[in-house]
Amino acid sequence: MSTRTVLQQADISRALTRIAHEILESNRGAADLVLLGIPTRGVALARRLGDLIASIAQVDVPVGSLDVTLFRDDLASQPTRSPRPTEIPAGGIENKTVVLVDDVLFSGRSIRAALDALGAVGRPAAVRLAILIDRGHRELPIRPDFVGKNIPSARSERVNVRLSEYDGADEVTIGE
């Protein structure tokens, strides 16, 4: 089983910095912006993006998490997952631009579940999607607004995102 590293720490940092700038440009600043990470690694990425946006725009952006476990359409076929807490920032999401943040976009099913979970929490003015890795193979008509890196892959391959907050190092690998 061969595994190759496709992004290292510096590559991930550069991609997140670019995404932070793109979010600010698209939103015309940080006003009414909320970042919601999808557990697990999407939460760490959302926090990093929040820190980057704060350093660029000199404005703190609310960051939270949105658990999608109970909204997934594949619960019967997936191993049992324990739900993670959903943490909506104090200002809520009503009439805000919500940027959903996740590590890998594959079939689009997690994002569909996130949209359902978001609808159960409130009604944002707009929803955007920021993804570190887009690997293709969509099963649903979902397209990210902000992408760190497109990595074409075979369906049989696995893309692994490791982040220092959980794994002790930052890297993205792909393998069988």
CATH number of domain containing 143: 3.40.50.2020
Asked whether residue 159 is domain-assigned, the answer is no
Asked whether residue 167 is domain-assigned, the answer is no
Asked whether residue 6 is domain-assigned, the answer is no
Angle, CA 51 vertex, CA 50 and CA 57 arms, to 5°: 85
Q: Would you place residue 2 in the very low, low, confident or very high pLDDT band (cuts 50, 70, 90)?
A: confident
Q: Would you place residue 84 in the very low, low, confident or very high pLDDT band (cuts 50, 70, 90)?
A: confident
Q: State the helix-helix crossing angle for 9-27 and 41-57, rounded to 10 degrees.
A: 60
pTM (global) more than 0.85: yes
Asked whether residue 138 is domain-assigned, the answer is yes
Residue-wise pLDDT for 91-115, tens only, equals 999 999 999 999 999 999 999 999 9
Q: Can you read off the two tokens belonging to residue 65?
A: 């998490």
The separation between the first and the last C-alpha atoms of the chain, rounded to the nearest angstrom, is 6
Residue-wise pLDDT for 117-166, tens only, equals 999 999 999 999 999 999 988 989 999 999 999 998 999 999 999 999 99
Domain range enclosing 32: 11-73+86-154
Q: What is the CA radius of gyration of the chain?
A: 16
Asked whether residue 111 is domain-assigned, the answer is yes
Residue-wise pLDDT for 48-76, tens only, equals 999 999 999 999 999 999 999 888 776 66
Asked whether residue 90 is domain-assigned, the answer is yes
Asked whether residue 52 is domain-assigned, the answer is yes
Rounded Cα distance between 96 and 123, Å, is 8
The answer to whether the CB of 149 falls within 8 A of the CB of 10 is: no
Q: Tell me whether the omega of the peptide bond preceding residue 40 falls within 30 degrees of 0, making it cis.
A: yes
Asked whether residue 81 is domain-assigned, the answer is no
Indicate the residue type of 170. Answer: D
Q: How many domains does the chain divide into?
A: 1
